[in-house]
Amino acid sequence: MDSLRVFNSLARDKQPFVPLTPGEVRMYVCGMTVYDYCHVGHARVMVVFDMVQRWLRTLGFNVTYVRNITDVDDKIIKRALENGETMRALTTRFIQYMHEDADALGVERPDLEPRATDFIPQMVDMIGALERNGYAYQADDGDVNYAVRKFANYGKLSGKSIEDLRAGERVAANTAKQDPLDFVLWKSAKESEPDESKWASPWGQGRPGWHIECSAMSCQLLGEHFDIHGGGADLQFPHHENEIAQSEGANGKPFVNYWLHNGFVRVDDEKMSKSLGNFFTIREVLEKYDAEVVRFFILRAHYRSPLNYSDTHLDDARSALTRLYTALKDVDGDGAAIDWEESYAQRFRAAMNDDFNTAVAMSVLFELAGEINKQRDPVLARQLSGLAGTLGLLGRDPAAFLQGGVGGGGDALRASVEARIDARAEAKRARNFAEADRIRAELLAEGIVLEDRPGGATEWRRA
């Protein structure tokens, strides 16, 4: 079978994946800044790299997956002060909400989930190494900055020349810098900031800059040179570019072999942003759509392509996932493991090994579903549920999915539907077909589809 190939943003090409240590993969992904609810963009990052780590494990790799939590930065300090609470209370609460959202989406917890505030000593040590190596300096305002022009390969990830670069996001204009491109490594404490945002350092009290957090945590937990670093395309510059400069400047060795970036989320073909009013939290979306539908929607697109969010696309995803579950509804798998020599499995594996091409892999699942509908073959049913399971899909009882969904109801809904099915059956026995049709139409208007089976039984599912 084909070996795994991944698109490496650093090489700007698709390359064979060869881990530093045979059989082992060390992967770091930039996580959330926890001061508010996670949005659809966060959902894509979580689901995409959950898919990546699942597939790496399916291939037999021993994976160490790290996804960090940023629990100190300007936005967190500002929100905590506005709320009249501690940073720790604020961030702990939103970490819990993040976990609830991720759990709903079927995202497995990373092996390690470091909080930035637990790694301040490692950040101070790395900044000290950068200062000794001539890459860092303390400015007149007390901040310690990275001298970008001192790092010869700055721009190699983003492909930008040093002349084209501008100071990155989260780096405020500062006349104390030696160069406008320089970015902050250590922020000198301000009197107005809470004590819990201040740590002692050789440069005085302060706190780390955003970029140094990920460099220090990844190198501490995965080593100074590791296999994969992932995140959203919006982080490629300046965040990931700065991570390379910091880590390689401090350690004098290559930082990461493969850089993976997922594409942007757009809403009705416009970039998602609060200013445009098209900004959706995961919780808002899950009020309208089943969480597995959202996961399916994200994975249906190739991870590097733009993802266009709309109710129309989610409705289509719900219908598509319903087709897969419907194929399994009356055909139980034989309980065996996936047969990777079987033709559908080989095609699925080839697609996934081609830079995690879930879009093509999904097409294989739908072909399998079509064959199950024709042949009612338990072996094919096992292959469908097993292959989909490597993506974190089709793990529920088909009837539970088909009769479930968003909108509430639960046992009360089930009782109401089944009572009307019984009333419809009674009407048919009395040859009152108009009443039977009225009940079917009433249920359909409520989003309930009735399916009359051979032998007179009637089953139902969500539309």
Annotated binding site for ATP: 274
Q: How far apart are CA 108 and CA 258, in angstroms?
A: 22
Q: What angle do CA 264, 268, 274 make, to 5 degrees?
A: 65
Please name the residue that has the structure tokens 């930035």: 116
Q: Which of 151, 157, 155 is nearest to 259 (CA)?
A: 157
Which 8-state DSSP code applies to residue 227?
E
Contacts of residue 219, defined as CB under 8 A and 6 or more positions apart, other chains included, come to 122, 126, 247, 251
What would the DSSP string read from start to end of 271-320? E--TTTT---BHHHHHTTS-HHHHHHHHHHS-TTS-EEE-HHHHHHHHHH
In angstroms, the Cα distances linking 132 to 127, 135, 205, 355, 449 are 9, 8, 20, 40, 70
Q: How far apart are CA 308 and CA 241, in angstroms?
A: 27
DSSP H or E run through 336:
none
Which 8-state DSSP code applies to residue 112?
B
Q: How far apart are CA 196 and CA 207, in angstroms?
A: 10
Q: Which tokens hold the place of 55? A: 């597939």
Q: How far apart are CA 246 and CA 135, in angstroms?
A: 8
Three-state DSSP class for residue 170: coil
Please name the residue that has the structure tokens 């399998």: 368
Which 8-state DSSP code applies to residue 375?
H
**Residue ranges for the binding site?**
30, 214, 239, 243, 274
Q: How far apart are CA 416 and CA 215, in angstroms?
A: 56
**Residue ranges for the binding site for Zn(2+)?**
30, 214, 239, 243
Cα-to-chain-centroid distance, residue 442: 39
Q: E strands of 17-89, at which residues?
A: 24-29, 62-67
First to last CA, the chain: 39
Is omega for the bond preceding 202 within 30 degrees of 0, making it cis? no
Q: How far apart are CA 384 and CA 107, in angstroms?
A: 20
By the 10 Å C-beta count (0-12 exposed, 13-18 middle, 19+ buried), 81 is classed as middle
